[in-house]
Amino acid sequence: MRAHIITYGCQMNEYDSHLVESQLVSLGADMVDSVDAADFVLINTCAVRGKPVDKVRSLLGDLRATKARRPLVVGMMGCLAQLEEGQQIARKFEVDVLLGPGSLLDIGKALESNERFWGLQFKDELHDHIPPPPQGRLQAHLTIMRGCDHHCTYCIVPTTRGPQVSRHPDAIMRELDMLLEAGVQEVTLLGQNVNSYGIDQGKRVPGIPSFAELLRMVGASGVKRIKFTTSHPMNFTEDVVLAMRDTPAVCDFIHLPVQSGSSRVLRRMAREYTREKYLEHIATIKKHLPNAVLFTDIIVGFPGETEEDFQETLSLYDEVGYDNAYMFIYSARPGTPSYKHFEDLPRELKTERLQRLIAKQKEWSIRKNSAYVGRDLEVLLRGDAHDPAFLEGHSRGNHPVVVPKAGGIDRPGIYTVRVEHATPHMLYGKLLDAEGRVLEPQPVAAPEAAALSSPLPML
């Protein structure tokens, strides 16, 4: 069988796609790069917002047309597959295999079946399953928990991924050892709410450390860089910040979603904290990690949000001074309390507010990024940028960075870069040698030389 996986959504979905791919390879499948070359196409879906669901519908329509022309097995996995909405879509588009987030290890059983296979049970063994490490990559994701015990009124994740289950640290460290042996230098610890690691359904799990303790354990492994996502402010504690400060491998990068700057809106979201409590966390971070890079998530136009509420979000952005933010228009998702009980705001109003927030974010991002001009940063370069004369990567603070290939450096690795130019969403610089000298870009072969000679590639 020739298989192809298409992934939508979060980093957890990327990890799950890698897990399923490893299962397919162990069953003898060849992974191919396109739908046209595949006998089996599996879509890893997201249900957090309406847009990725629409993308899945469109793709399934195309695949149904392909199935009418040639033999093709089509599968869906991920959060949308767990929902009745997703199951209705699967029936409509004649999907052959449906796997929820808790049933990924059923992929072999599904492909052996001679009829439509629906796997929607949460399997305990999934939490201890260790996929093989990715090959030829310097960065990898490492899941430390699954599910979520919070019940934000806009979020479908507790329904799709179930209650929180923390992974045993022995399994985490075994997987980490495999990643290090494969050459991975940066690991991102994944969870719906990493701060509550070790406290499942409100109870401390015997034999499971706190998240701060886990950070210290992972930091002692020899890994060069550690990041984590996502944090919930309700469970964010000072000991996590202290563990970051005291563990050199942990990057000074914190993604702390606020969702709204209005305490009234936060109550409607059931976020379990206030604006004031969130700002206390920010003060703690800045006290112990004054150079921390701060990212957040913000939902614009939540039901009932007034102009005054939105102004509080804008003022919070100024008070915190975020480096960047993931900003979304509220998307009503069937099955969530906000969908059932709240009236949505007009699309035009939500769009207008989002544009104002984006303008605010760009102001802060260029201000923050410009401060790096002239500074030297440690950058993990992943490989070629869109322009093959350049390499792309990211700093310890998760800033996207682009540099020209120079001094024989043309492959992935961790290098020192001197930043020469900044935009709201990108840093541009040049590579330094071991003595701290700037390496001039290596010449580019004609006829592209003239087009590629600019220090700022068109990305």
Q: Is 251 annotated as a binding residue?
A: no
Using CA atoms, how far apart are residues 127 and 166, in angstroms rounded to an integer? 8
| Distance (Å, whole) CA 331 – CA 329 | 6
Distance of alpha carbon 148 from alpha carbon 264, whole angstroms:
23
Cβ partners under 8 Å of residue 112, min gap 6: none
- Annotated ligand binding at 148? The verdict is yes
**Residue 87 phi, psi (nearest 5):** -70, -35
The contacts of residue 369 (CB under 8 Å, 6+ apart) are 323, 399, 422, 423, 424, 426, 427
DSSP 154-216: T--HHHHH-S-EEPPHHHHHHHHHHHHHTT--EEEEE-TTGGGTTEETTEEPTT---HHHHHH
Say which DSSP state 101 is in. T
Integer Cα distance of 27 and 30 in angstroms: 9
**Angle, nearest 10°, between helix axes 275-288 and 238-246?**
20
As to burial, measured by CB atoms within 10 angstroms (0-12 exposed, 13-18 middle, 19+ buried), residue 340 is: exposed
Closest CA to 205 of 144, 157, 133, 162: 144
DSSP 234: G
**What sign has the CA pseudo-torsion 358, 360, 366, 371?**
negative
Judge contact between 75 and 52, C-beta under 8 A: no
Q: Which helix (H) or strand (E) holds 253?
A: strand 253-255
CA torsion through residues 158, 163, 169, 172, sign = negative
SS3 at position 428 = strand
Q: Strands 253-255 and 293-300: what pairing?
A: parallel
Output b/e per residue, 245-267; b: 16+ Cβ within 10 A. eebebbbbbbbbbbbbbbbbbbe
Helix 307-320 / helix 275-288 crossing angle, nearest 10 deg: 10
**Coil, strand or helix at 44:** strand
Q: Does 155 belong to an annotated binding site?
A: yes
Binding-site residues for [4Fe-4S] cluster, please?
10, 46, 79, 148, 152, 155
Binding-site residues, please?
10, 46, 79, 148, 152, 155
